Structure 1
Amino acid sequence: MPERSIHAHVVAQNQRKVLFTAGPASLLDENLLGLRPCFGRGDTDYQQVETAVLSALKAMTGHAHIARLQGSASLALEIASLNFLYGKVLVIDSGYYAQRLVSFAHMAQRNAGEVSLVTVCDWQQLTKVEGHFDWVVACYTETSAGLLLPIADLRALADRVGAQLMLDATASIGLEADHHLADVIAYSSCKGLFGLTGAAFVAFHQPPKHAVDSFYLNLNTHLERGMTGPYHAIASLYEVLPKHDDLREAVFINKAQMLKKIAGYATHPLQYQPVLCTWVDAKVTSQATQAVLYAPRGMQRGSVVCHLGEAHLGSQAQGEILDLLELQP
């Protein structure tokens, strides 16, 4: 095979596949430039890489502590649920991924024994919540419905019922503001961070109050680096994060262009529009063989289009990939 540059390889790969899916984003030069031989102990080069990445992530979200682990955001959320949740837990139902949080809360109730009650509230009924809770759990951006729950509303609800706030930040990290308003968040290395898949993170203000009787599911095991970590996924973020502000502009540009494209179709009001994706009250199709469309889990009507497909262009993106899409009412 003839030699070619990393950039040429990335360009070729992004031309053969156009993503309208929820993450990972399109391939970046930086994803590959960050890769290197790694080991978690005695490797001073990797220790510098990991320290820089975790410090940048804590600065991005405003949290004092962060744990990294191999796996998906689902695993991070399961670990966060087991380690942090206790007492009365209120879960805000906004769609498929929020309903998964309900299952994690029930799992924590069964297995960790610290949760006494799990209550579920529809996201449109927040003002009707009464009583005291110890935790409010929600999904900041619900990709299954193309829905953003304003974090200020979630924080206000948690304060009103005397609770701490835990968020699934998988689809909001790197794109939405004010994650520091949540006491605990969990997310992955891809989607709005633009890293390779394989790393997950739990960030928090204060350590959990109880310990989980499990080696792998105990948060301290990951904080103490008790097993092989997501070395290469973190290495991919090492080159990405210094350029993150520019790269994320591609998502904002595509989002703005998508809202223009669907102006004639009913959709969520602006305050409920996430940056990552857009719900369309129409069937979205494409004649382009390289287009990969998003099929949200549990969606009953319409389509969701995600806006990570031109991340490699950064602020030079123009949303041209949206021309590949067709809308059928």
Structure 2
Amino acid sequence: MINADHSIEWLVQKKNQEKLLFTPGPASLLSENLTGLRPCFGRGDIDYNQVEEQVLESLKAMTGHRYIARMQGSASLALEVSALNFLYGRVLIISTGYYSDRLKWLAESAHRRVCVINEVASVNWHEMDNVIGHFDWLVACSTETSSGLKLSITLLSSIAKRLGARLMLDATASIGLEDDHDLADVIGYSSCKGLFGLTGASFIAFNDFPIQEVDSFYLNLSTHLEKRMTGPYHALASLVDVLPNHDDFKFAVEENKTRFIRKMSNWLTVSAEYQPKICTHVNCNITSKDPRAVLYFSRGGMGGSIVCHLGEIHLKRQAKGDIQDVLEIAEIGS
């Protein structure tokens, strides 16, 4: 039972003590998530309009893009809208796991529905340097949480340029944590994970408007740019007090990652250059006897375990990775 005299800080501390997250987002609860909430409406509400403008301008500054569309829904919505509105011609998908497979499905769906895509091809990320020919779009998931893999956006950009292609990224697990998103022409992502907001909002950031028109109210990018439906008001409000202090929360992720890497150095499956900040894949089974622990079970179905590093961000620069003390190695993989 919550006493009316208890502070927001007390409530947040209590809730975070009750549940220990090792999942890829949303992260642990922040006081700033709650202090940003307010009654709001999308038209005629000056206070909310200021909140939305502040959040969207911060996000554009973070990624270096000229335009941004916000919508109510998961990153999957942003990526489907992106595929339908931007992709055309020959499209190449970089295969990294479950979420790149989702990008391929979305591109193939756009091919059937909009009919401006001529071909959807894919290549395993190990072979992406060997691709030749011309493509109009290169599409990739720069941080693949299903396999604990990060691809350099700089490298993806250079491959796209070599192929004469534009670059579209699923930035859901890299936004706010990794660098160089400005090198992509189009990115889609959500309000949680590395932005540390509440779930419910997704975004498309881009520099040039799409050339095709999508015959759909909900899936047409213009609908969201022109705000013709209820927007993600409270998800955006949950970010307004977070983004000015984003570096403090990001520190907690990096500290958690550093401690886990040091502790699990004998079981790491990818080298340092491919390690994402949000999570780590190891070739052993991680368990916990603590009933508060929520472990991550990847949709990719690969062996070993993936541990994510967003469970202590409420501690900001006081985080030391102590949340990992409840984890145990149950069985070493082959």
**Cα-Cα RMSD:** 0.6
1:227-284 residue CA offsets vs partner (Å, 9 max, x unmatched): 0000000000001101101111000000000101111114200000000000011001
**Aligned residue in 1 for 2:229:** 227
**Aligned residue in 1 for 2:125:** 123
List alignment gaps of at least 5 residues for structure 2: none
Match of 1:289 among 285, 288, 291: 291
Please state if 1:218 is matched with 2:203: no
Residue 174 of structure 1 deviates from its aligned partner by: 0.3
1:183-229 residue CA offsets vs partner (Å, 9 max, x unmatched): 00000000000000000000001111111010000000000000000
Q: Which amino acid aligns with 2:218?
A: Y
Q: Which amino acid aligns with 1:142?
A: E
Tell me the secondary structure at the aligned position of residue 89 of structure 1.
Answer: strand
Question: Taking structure 2 as the reference length, what is the TM-score of the superposition?
Answer: 0.98
**Aligned residue in 1 for 2:198:** 196
1:117-142 residue CA offsets vs partner (Å, 9 max, x unmatched): 00010000012101000000000100
Alignment partners' CA distance in 2, 1:229 and 1:213:
21
**Aligned residue in 2 for 1:14:** 16
**Aligned residue in 2 for 1:71:** 73
Alignment partners' CA distance in 1, 2:158 and 2:307:
30
Match of 1:112 among 100, 111, 114: 114
Alignment partners' CA distance in 1, 2:276 and 2:72:
27
**Aligned residue in 1 for 2:139:** 137
Residue 299 of structure 1 deviates from its aligned partner by: 2.3
Alignment partners' CA distance in 1, 2:266 and 2:170:
31
Q: How much identity, in percent, do the aligned residues show? A: 60
Alignment partners' CA distance in 2, 1:320 and 1:241:
25
Residue 18 of structure 1 deviates from its aligned partner by: 0.3
List alignment gaps of at least 5 residues for structure 1: none
**Aligned residue in 2 for 1:101:** 103
Tell me the secondary structure at the aligned position of residue 123 of structure 2.
Answer: strand
**Aligned residue in 2 for 1:275:** 277
Number of residue-to-residue matches in the alignment? 329
Tell me the secondary structure at the aligned position of residue 132 of structure 1.
Answer: coil
Match of 2:86 among 84, 87, 90: 84
Residues 147 and 302, structure 2, Cα contact 8 Å, conserved in 1: no
Tell me the secondary structure at the aligned position of residue 242 of structure 2.
Answer: helix
Match of 1:179 among 167, 178, 181: 181
Q: Which amino acid aligns with 2:62?
A: M
Alignment partners' CA distance in 1, 2:237 and 2:116:
36
Q: Which amino acid aligns with 2:75?
A: A
Residue 115 of structure 1 deviates from its aligned partner by: 0.5
Alignment partners' CA distance in 1, 2:217 and 2:231:
14
Alignment partners' CA distance in 2, 1:174 and 1:127:
27
Question: Taking structure 1 as the reference length, what is the TM-score of the superposition?
Answer: 0.99
Q: Which runs of 4+ in 1 moved over 4 A?
A: none
Alignment partners' CA distance in 2, 1:5 and 1:295:
34
Tell me the secondary structure at the aligned position of residue 220 of structure 1.
Answer: helix
